[in-house]
Structure 1
Amino acid sequence: MASRTRLCAFVVGALLFAAPSDVAAAPSAAERETARRHMDEGTAAMKTGEHRRALEAFSKAHEIMHVPTTGLAVAKAHLAAGHLVEAREAAVEVARTQKEAHEPAVFEKARDAARKIEAEVKGRIPSLKIKVKGGTASKVAVDDVDVPLPLIVEPVPVNPGKRVVTAKGTEGTEARVNVEVAEKESKEVELTLTWPTTADPTAKPTPAPTNDADKPQEKPKVLGFGNEDVASKGGRRAPLAEGLIWGGFAFGAVGIGVGAVTGLMTLGKASDVSQLCENNICAPSAQSDLDSATLLATVSTIAFGVGLAGIGAGVLGLAMPRQGETKGHAGLSIRPTLNGLGGTF
């Protein structure tokens, strides 16, 4: 009795653990509807000769359903597109699917059709026997699909048409061969590993010029006529130079302006004082105007001094080299001046 109870508990537990996986494996109603839509799209594309689009649609349906009918559709699309290798592989997969109880009869018909495709395509697939010379290959590929190195001594099945066979050596050498094969054809392909032209270890660097005569001569540049290249003016100015330029010229303008105004006012006061003075002897009433004239003259002198100093600072900022600009310059520069043309070396 106890053993029977334990057996029943085991069976019930097994069913409980197995049931969720079966339910999860079964496509939902929405997934089945999506698969039908992909199958209809693929069938329509096959009728119009759009084999690649049909293959994409059938593959999406097969990813959802994983049943013999969707797998057979994938095999037929590969075959129509000329993918003999993939068509046979898909047909073999369908033919080997396990028959289940109460499955639709169309599934067994799909297996029979897949077996016929596999038998018919098998003898049509061409092959390439690849030989690599000039070193040890670390990678061999056909149309960018890697071929396992142990298999390159055997004929490699490929699709008919134009194929690109490449190889890479362990030392960085390479080889590439374009080959065209027809159905049922078996062809040998020989690749010789060589150094790429950009990485030839035997290539010698171009010697540098040994004297000034071998160096290319720089042509004189004529500047100042609106043809200056912005890139030829160097990089940006340093913050100090920017400050000297903007601050210096600003102070210079203000200083000269104040100096000019106060200078004119000084002349006006001096004219008024001269009318009240005779033989350098001034009336007491002229003392105020005399003091004002003296003060204005002093302010004017100081303002002019500040203005000239500011202009000097601005000129200094302009003369400072830009960032990334070399101090020396080998070449001839010609610029227009007030008197004609001027040049520097």
Structure 2
Amino acid sequence: MLSGLLSIAVAAPASAQPDAVALAESLFNRGLADMLAGRHQAGCPALAESHRLDPRPGRLFTLAECEAQWGRIATAVARYNDFLALYSRMSEAEKLQQRERHRIALEQRDALTPLVPQLTLSLPSDAPPGTIVQRDGITLQQPSLGIPLPVNPGEHVVTTRAPGGPVREVRFTIDRSESKTIELEVELPADEPPPVNAQAPGAQVGATGAFGARPAAAPDTGPGGQRVLAYVAGGLAASALIFGSVTGLMALDESGVAADDCEDDPDRPGVATCRSAVGKAAGDRAKDLGLASTIGFGAGGALAGAAVLLLLTEPSPPRPQQTGRVGQVGEVRWSLLAAPTGGGVVVRGRW
């Protein structure tokens, strides 16, 4: 029964290119064969790549089953939850096709969730800012530290590295239903010698300091507030334009599905008659996605114009003033010049 569910092809609108669909189908068949033969280490990655190239409910469900059989129960629970979330957004006709898979996904998710190990990683309080923590090659940001997170049973590798310091590695194993807390160690970089304030050749130190030293450069205060707002508006504009493009493409796909299933009613202009609920649902989604795309492009254009306006109207930064040393009038530089025929003193001044 289960193998039959795994091998059933699910009718769904293909959003990928034809070549990608054919490649995804080939990977799915190979991954399914490896999975049924118990070769999960080869089968599950093939199924995951198949679903990435051409996402379909059946491929997602089969991938969840493969991960569960492989023993990667934390990943399996996440995949089952993805399938259940996708099922909740389906039309009634689509849910009818996926009903048995929905039942199995619920049972598997509820049975595996209590068995998922929980791992808590904590940094010491004196860890310097910018310390990098990676678990199995995945970088964990600060919100992921100090709280229990689900992991797959088995061996794991955690590395920590302070800015400029060496990498510290910890290897451990964790079993099903186990909760483990690991206090990580951070090795700080070796102390560096303080920089030597070398004087320029010919500089002499007097009672009030070193003549010939250049005034310290004014510190870089970074971009002004108006430029920061321009950067923020530009980033939001790019996000809105991307959103408009993606929803526009999705609307075109849904419109194609509706066009194949629905026809204009000759007795009622502007009203389409659909042969099934799938076509009507696709038409409704196409309208909603089209509206979202229009809003995205409109907001992106407005934000882009605001970003350009902020950059054009930004006031020029004030020019730094040259100041001399306390107790001096102007600036005096002098140096000793030596030559085979004699020597001399060169004095340059500015008052």
TM-score interval (norm. to shorter): 0.3 to 0.5
User: Which is higher, the Rg of structure 1 or of structure 2?
Assistant: 1
More helix by share: 1
Q: TM-score, normalised by structure 1?
A: 0.46
